[in-house]
Amino acid sequence: MRLILLGPPGAGKGTQALRLVGKYGIVQLSTGDMLRAAVRTGTPVGRQTQEIMARGGLVPDNVVVGIVGQRIDEPDARKGFILDGFPRTVPQAAALDRLLETKGLGLDGVIELRVDEDALMRRIESRVAEMKARGETLREDDSPEVLHNRLRAYREQTAPLIAYYRQKGLLRTVNGMAPIADVTAAIDKLLPADRPLGGSAAGKKKSEELSP
Residue 126, classed as helix, strand or coil, is helix
| Residue type (1 letter), 86 | F
171 binding ligand ADP? (CB under 6 A): no
Cα gap 184→73, rounded to integer Å: 28
Output phi, psi for 110, to 5 deg.
-125, 120
Catalytic residue check, 13: yes
- Restricted to residues 132-161, the positions that interact with ligand ADP (CB under 6 A) are 141, 150
Pick 32 or 109: Cβ nearer ligand ADP:
32
Pick 90 or 211: Cβ nearer ligand ADP:
90
For residue 188, the tally of other CB atoms under 10 A from its CB is 13
Cα gap 201→87, rounded to integer Å: 29
Catalytic residue check, 123: no
Out of 3, 4, 9, 120, the only residue in the binding site for ligand ADP (CB under 6 A) is: 9
56 binding ligand ADP? (CB under 6 A): yes
6 binding ligand ADP? (CB under 6 A): no
To the nearest 10 degrees (0 to 180), the angle between helices 31-41 and 44-54 is 110
Closest chain position to ligand ADP (CB): 32
35 binding ligand ADP? (CB under 6 A): yes
| Residue type (1 letter), 129 | A
Out of 88, 95, 113, 115, the only residue in the binding site for ligand ADP (CB under 6 A) is: 88
Contact between residue 22 and residue 129 where contact means Cβ atoms under 8 Å apart: no
Give the number of residues written for the chain: 212
Pick 56 or 80: Cβ nearer ligand ADP:
56
Shortest CB 115 distance to ligand ADP, Å: 12
Catalogue the E-assigned strands of 60-139: 81-84, 109-114
Catalytic residue check, 98: no
Catalytic residue check, 127: yes
Shortest CB 12 distance to ligand ADP, Å: 10
Residues 6+ away with beta carbon under 8 Å from 44: none
85 binding ligand ADP? (CB under 6 A): yes
Residues belonging to the active site: 13, 88, 127, 139, 150
Q: List interacting residues with ligand ADP (CB under 6 A).
A: 9, 31-32, 35, 52-53, 56-59, 64, 85-86, 88, 92, 141, 150
